[in-house]
Amino acid sequence: MRWALLVALLLALAGCASAPTAPAGADADMQARSDRFVVVAVANPLQRLPSRAGTSLSSYGGTPRYTQGEQAARVLADVARRHQLREAAAWPIPVLGVHCVVFEIAPDASRDAVLAALAQDAQVQLAQPLHDFEPLATDAPGVRYDDPYLPLQQGFLALGVPQAHRLSTGRGVHIAVIDTGAQTDHPDLNGRAIALHNLVDERPAAALAERHGTEVLGLIAATGNNGQGIVGIAPDARLSLYRACWYGAANGRARCNSFTLAKALVAVLASDARVINLSLGGPDDPLLTQLLQQLLRQGRSVVAALPADGLRRGFPAGVPGVISVAATGQADGAAPLQAPGRDVLTLQPGGRYDFASGSSMAAAQVSGVVALMLSAQPALDGPAIAHLLTGAEGRPWTAQQLLALGKAAPAGRQTAAHNFR
């Protein structure tokens, strides 16, 4: 009920970067043996070439104008020589003023010892492990559906989305999803203009019909009123999928790492996406945190899945300003923001439908709700959205109280219930 009240209230109120480069085979090595690699950043003091005046979200997608400077090249060569490192991938991140390199450590070296030495190196601005991350979903029993059945979308109905769609379907809002690949020609996504970016390997992104990304895209934006399947929260939003995670052959689980996620975040910084969905989690990561903070400073909304223990920590859920979402009932309801995340009907590769569980699914639905809000109120920014969703008072309201509160509150300061059920 609170979801329906919240959505009704909210809708009634109605730099540049160069692409990373890696030697052939380096990406596969990093994916298979991440514990043998470190991420190092050094200052890259370059002057930006003249560009058009003014800055806005729509201007972020301009042509890259940065390369590795001579000073950074010399420093990195010295660092590699002193610490016996071999370059595996490198790319400038102009928004942070650094040049990043993924180095492979010597075969007989301890990564902890190498990182400790790098931390004492005055020429190094950042040194960290090549962290691994994973999508935060759990597999559901193998009940599968071949035919559309909207009544099974209990989370969708609990959110009051059918009512909200009378006012907004997410049109005009760009959502960036950083995840695994997805079946973008699924019957419930077929025909949608989805920009695809494979940042893991050289394979065509359109050919990678992976499960987790398909589930997340389906919840956010499955096509409505097409006579089949399910309906997404924001079926008219514009979508970009950044494949930064992949499925391992050994255990069948999806993984990401610091390098692939950094590439995705840099690419999103060069886009006009206003909503970024990160249904994944892992340890604190200094480089990824800096990139995410840059997105937040630009007023974008970043929605992340809360770890299974329900604690707001690690990357990305622990980064201040991120809208961190738990599955309803996760960690005894201790999380500040919850959404349906148990046995949620969504899309599966092969043109199928099935249930999925986890905070990944909860975060995807909240990303859809954020798109509805932005479509109805384009002037809202990330902090205003976060305030509305988390609710400063955090107490339940009746429908009349919510509507009266929303109408009386100044723009960007509306208050909403904090626990979505």
| Sheet bearing 254-257, strands edge to edge | 245-247, 254-257, 132-135, 280-281
DSSP 87: E
> Rounded distance, CA 346 to CA 357, Å?
10
Closest CA to 180 of 213, 203, 202: 213
- Catalytic site residue 131? no
Q: Is 146 an active-site residue?
A: no
Which of these is catalytic: 27, 179, 236, 285?
A: 179
CB 85 within 8 A of CB 107: no
Catalytic residue among 212, 279, 285, 418: 212
Residue 53 structure tokens: 């005046």
Q: What is d(CA 152, CA 222) in angstroms, rounded to the nearest whole number?
A: 15
Q: Are 100 and 309 in contact (CB under 8 A)?
A: no
Q: How far does Cα 15 stand from its chain's mean position?
A: 18
Whether 360 is a known active-site residue: answer yes
Alpha-carbon span 184 to 314, nearest angstrom: 30
DSSP assignment, residue 317?
T
> Which alpha helices (H) appear in 174-252, and where do they start and end?
211-221
Q: Out of 360, 367, 375, 418, which one is annotated catalytic?
A: 360
Instruction: Specify the DSSP element, H or E, that contains 294.
Output: helix 286-297
Q: At what angle do helices 211-221 and 359-376 cross, to 10 degrees?
A: 30
Q: By the 8 A CB rule, do 339 and 160 touch? A: no
DSSP H helical segments within 111-233, as ranges? Answer: 111-119, 154-158, 161-164, 211-221
Strand partners, 350: none
> Among residues 25, 108, 1, 6, which one has the least CA distance to residue 366?
6
CB 95 within 8 A of CB 44: no
How many angstroms separate the CA atoms of 201 and 188, rounded? 26
**Which residues are known to be catalytic?**
179, 212, 360
